[in-house]
Structure 1
Amino acid sequence: MIKGIGAVMVILAGGGWGMLQAAKIEECYRQMRYLRKLIFRIRSEIRYSRQVLPEAFLHVGSEAQEPYKMWLLSLCERLTKRQGTSLAGIWEEETRKYLAETGIPQDMMESLIRLGSELGTIDIEMQVKTLDLYLEQMEQKMEDMRTEQKERIRLYQCVGVTGGIFLAIILL
């Protein structure tokens, strides 16, 4: 009786692990979609409203969710007060500080950091084109993630349950 209950608990724990890993994949994709939305809004502020970067960060950041809100508002504050050496340095520091725990894939995080080194030193049209290029890269990464996502979610769920069953058999 006790062994049976223990076996069921091990199987449920394995299934729970699989569900947790699947949820992490879904959260990563959700964060990427939200970041893409923010970059689109920054692009629109620059292109159509003719805002300078600190003002664009302020407008978009005031309506954003955490931690993106703090990231953009901190960028605005530091750029306005001219704290730091350059936009690229401030961008990298604030991005690593606020967005490290969002679950965005490492390659996209590095690409986002590189984006900061390409903004601010060029005219409005070039900034818009730079943001367009980043958004294209992001779209490609999200497309790749979308095709892998279903397979990986199913894989994690199956591995969790079958691993739990295997472990329960070994323990019995």
Structure 2
Amino acid sequence: MIKAIGAVMVILAGSGWGMLQAAKIEECYRQMRYLRKLIFRIRSEVRYSRRVLPEAFLSVGSEAQEPYKMWLLSLYERLENRQGTSLAGIWEEETRTHLPVIGIPQDMLESLIRLGGELGTIDIEMQVRTLDLYLEQMEQKMEDMRTEQKEKIRLYQCIGVTGGVFLAIILL
């Protein structure tokens, strides 16, 4: 009887691990969608409202969810108080401080960091084009993720269950 309960617990643990991994993939995609939305809003603030970047960060950041809110408001505060060498340096520091926890792929995080180096030193139209280019790259990455997402979710769930069953058989 105890072996059977142990076997069921091992199978449930394996299944839980598979579900957890699948949830991480879904959360990564959700965070990418939200970040794309924020970048698009910054682009709109710069293009249509003709706001300078610090003001765009304040406007978008005041309505964003954490940790994006803290990231954008920190950018605004440091740029307004001239705390740092350049927009690129401040952007990189704040991005590395606030955004690694969101779970987006490392290549997209590095691309976001590079984006800061391309903003601020050019006119409004070039800033908008730079943001458009980043949004296109992000859209392509999200499309790739979307095609792989279903396969990976199913794979993790199957591995979790079959791994649990395999371990339960071995332990019996």
| TM-score > 0.5, shorter chain as reference | yes
Q: Is 1:122 matched up with 2:136?
A: no
Q: Is 1:6 matched up with 2:6?
A: yes
Match of 2:87 in 1: 87
Normalising to structure 2: TM-score of the pair? 1.00
Q: Is 1:139 matched up with 2:139?
A: yes
The one-letter code sitting in structure 2 at the alignment partner of 1:69 is K
For the residues of structure 1 that align with 2:100 and 2:87, how far apart are their CA atoms? Answer: 19
For the residues of structure 1 that align with 2:39 and 2:136, how far apart are their CA atoms? Answer: 11
The one-letter code sitting in structure 1 at the alignment partner of 2:13 is A
For the residues of structure 1 that align with 2:14 and 2:104, how far apart are their CA atoms? Answer: 25
The one-letter code sitting in structure 2 at the alignment partner of 1:64 is A
Match of 1:161 in 2: 161
Instruction: Quote how far apart the aligned CAs of 1:67 are.
Output: 0.3
Q: Any gaps of 5 or more consecutive residues in structure 2?
A: none
Normalising to structure 1: TM-score of the pair? 1.00
Give SS of 1:156's match.
helix
Instruction: Among all aligned residue pairs of Structure 1 and Structure 2, give the percentage whose two residues are the same amino acid.
Output: 89
Match of 2:26 in 1: 26
Match of 2:71 in 1: 71
Match of 2:101 in 1: 101
For the residues of structure 1 that align with 2:145 and 2:84, how far apart are their CA atoms? Answer: 35
Instruction: Report how many aligned residue pairs link the two structures.
Output: 172
CA distances 1:119-168 after superposition (whole Å, capped 9, x unpaired): 00000000000000000000000000000000000000000000000000
Match of 2:170 in 1: 170
Match of 1:51 in 2: 51
Match of 1:16 in 2: 16
Q: Which runs of 4+ in 1 moved over 4 A?
A: none
Give SS of 1:144's match.
helix
For the residues of structure 2 that align with 1:148 and 1:42, how far apart are their CA atoms? Answer: 29
For the residues of structure 2 that align with 1:92 and 1:25, how far apart are their CA atoms? Answer: 25
Instruction: Quote how far apart the aligned CAs of 1:44 are.
Output: 0.2
Q: What's the C-alpha RMSD, in Å, of the aligned pairs? A: 0.3
Match of 1:151 in 2: 151
For the residues of structure 2 that align with 1:140 and 1:108, how far apart are their CA atoms? Answer: 11
Instruction: Quote how far apart the aligned CAs of 1:109 are.
Output: 0.1
